[in-house]
Amino acid sequence: MIFEGIANLTPTENKLRNFSRICKLVGDYGGVVEYKELINIVLKDPTFKRGKRGKEGIYTKTIERHINIAEKLGILYRSNQDVDLSSLGRSLYELLKKIDNSEENLDDSEKIFYFMILFSQPTVIQLVFLLKSMENKGKLNKDKVIRKYIQSLLTLPPNVKIFDRTYLRECLRKKETRGVFPRGVINKFECMRGWLRDLGLIKTKGLGLTPSGRRVLSELKSEQENIHSLYSFVTQNVMKLAQSVLNPTARFPLFDKNNAKHMQLFESLFIKAYKKFYRPSIKMSDLIAIRTWLLIRLLVVENIILEIKDFNYLIENKAMKGTLKSIARDEKGRLAYVEI
């Protein structure tokens, strides 16, 4: 398996809230948006700030980068020149439908959503290693953190393709010869730093970890040496790790299928989600959107941890028992749609 993160990053994409804004604009549009039309819609939206010296052409490129990253994160789906919300995007839109686009801070549901998607894809590797680079009891220096980060990335196996290794080595060489890192690598650092800050994993000011960030790393201690085991552990325990964003000291209970209250909550939320994400054109509901929305609601509102794999087990068990009319899978055999 090849792990590919997101390498083309600049500081203009460092606010996760902007991806929410684009998601909401697409959702409010009510259907598929032509790519250039979406750029114009974002251009006209006053909440999507262009900065003090933002020029129209440069700003258009900024929007294009945001759309491209949103697509890579699985929030948007693009087919030729048409853009639509993906299943993940539909669940995010449902979470923020009532939130004003001018709001700058992520609410708890948004934080959990972004934690889920950033820490259940190969981006988890580049973000966990950045967290590790900030793990220091003393005062941190940005240059030292960037150097430590680059050096750690250069130890990764060849199947992890985040940033070009020749470029990373050149960045270290230029730091040694010229005393400064190239602007490009600093830009990538500042973007990811913003994402981690928005999730509450690093401090608002400075470079230190918050209690939430330390909790996440402590949960991963035994898994960090092997990339495959790290990736597998995080994707299978992403909701347990996401709890650190809400409360870094508590231990929320795991979902128990033998617990009547837990199952009652599951059934109630499942029915609500089924109606929210129903697709009349295929007479089925979007199971990925259902799962994402339901897992987040369980964690944020009920403080109960239900993992993706356990949700899938419950659905497949229901289908096997005949309590669901049918389930459909995508081309890779993953659960995609459900009919009740």
**For 107-165, how does the pLDDT look when each residue is reduced to its tens digit (9 = 90+)?**
999 999 999 999 988 899 999 999 999 987 667 789 999 999 999 999 998 888 889 99
Distance of CA 129 to the CA centre of its chain: 16
Burial of 108 by CB count in 10 Å (0-12 exposed, 13-18 middle, 19+ buried)? middle
Provide mean pLDDT across the span 216-220. Answer: 92
3-class secondary structure, 167? helix
Give the integer Cα–Cα distance in Å for 24 and 75. 11
**175 to 162, 170, 171, 181, 257: CA distances (angstroms):** 20, 9, 6, 5, 55
Band (226; pLDDT cuts 50, 70, 90): confident
Q: Which residues of 216-251 are buried (b: 16+ CB within 10 A; e: fewer)?
A: bbebbeebeeebeebbebbbebbbbbbbbbbebeee
Give the integer Cα–Cα distance in Å for 123 and 222. 19
Provide mean pLDDT across the span 231-257. Answer: 95
**For 15-59, how does the pLDDT look when each residue is reduced to its tens digit (9 = 90+)?**
999 999 999 999 999 889 999 999 999 988 988 876 544 455 568
284 with 328: CB under 8 angstroms?
A: yes
What is the per-residue pLDDT for 279?
95
3-class secondary structure, 75? coil
Residue 61 has pLDDT above 70, yes or no: yes
**Cβ-based neighbours of 236, under 8 Å, separated by 6 or more:** 307, 308, 309
For a pLDDT cut of 90, what percent of the chain falls above it? Answer: 78
Band (71; pLDDT cuts 50, 70, 90): very high
Chain-wide mean pLDDT for the chain?
92
What is the per-residue pLDDT for 150?
96
Q: Which residues of 7-36 are buried (b: 16+ CB within 10 A; e: fewer)?
A: eebbebbbbbbbbbbbbbbbbeeeeebeee
Tokens of 254: 């795991």
Give the integer Cα–Cα distance in Å for 61 and 195. 20
What is the per-residue pLDDT for 137?
65
**Cβ-based neighbours of 325, under 8 Å, separated by 6 or more:** 339, 340
**Cβ-based neighbours of 248, under 8 Å, separated by 6 or more:** 210, 211, 212, 214, 215
pTM of the model: 0.94
